[in-house]
Every structure is written in structure tokens, then in C-alpha cells.
């Protein structure tokens, strides 16, 4: 598989590259990152997430869910508001 310069640079930074293989959406990642993903998924399935794994997953979840959006500040005071 030949990668563009931009794709090669993205891989070297640990980023994923979306690819389409005969109509199937796939993602190309480095082998070390794939191994970490598999480890987290196996661990998550056995309810044995380390604190570091949990913090990393939560941080990614917050980032992808726009928790840094100022409109979400209302949730910071949720407990006080329901009293």
C-alpha cells in the first residue's frame, strides 16, 4: 500500500487514516496503537480498566462530545440547581 506524504506524516504522529477497501470503511493505524486499542477493549470487556485507561477514555469522550463548549457549563452547576 502506498501512502501520500500527508498520510505518512499522520501515521508517524500516531493518527489514524480512513481508507475505503472495496466499499468497506476502514481505518489504518500503527501496529503499536492497534495493540493498545485491543488491550483497552479487552480490559474494558473484563471490567479491569486501569485508572490511566479510564482517564484517557474519559478525556477523549469529553473532547469528542464538546464538553469544552461554554454552553455545557450549565452541567457544572447541575447538582446546585436541582436543590
* Planar angle of CA 38, 57, 39, nearest 5 degrees: 15
pTM of the model: 0.47
* Tens digit of pLDDT at every position of the chain (83 positions): 889 999 999 999 888 899 999 999 998 988 888 888 777 676 555 566 677 877 777 777 666 656 666 666 666 666 666 65
73 domain residue, yes or no:
no
Identify the helix (H) or strand (E) that includes residue 11: helix 5-12
Domain count, the chain: 1
Could you tell me the residue range of the domain that residue 30 belongs to? Answer: 5-66
Query: Residue 1, SS3?
Result: coil
71 domain residue, yes or no:
no
74 domain residue, yes or no:
no
Identify the helix (H) or strand (E) that includes residue 57: helix 51-64
Amino acid at each position: 500500500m502506498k501512502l501520500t506524504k500527508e498520510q505518512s506524516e499522520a501515521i508517524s504522529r500516531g493518527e489514524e487514516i480512513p481508507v475505503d477497501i472495496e466499499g468497506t470503511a476502514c481505518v489504518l493505524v500503527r501496529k503499536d496503537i492497534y495493540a493498545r486499542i485491543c488491550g483497552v477493549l479487552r480490559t474494558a470487556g473484563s471490567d479491569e480498566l486501569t485508572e490511566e485507561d479510564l482517564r484517557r477514555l474519559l478525556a477523549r469522550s469529553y473532547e469528542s462530545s464538546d464538553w469544552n463548549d461554554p454552553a455545557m457549563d450549565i452541567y457544572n452547576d447541575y447538582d446546585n440547581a436541582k436543590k
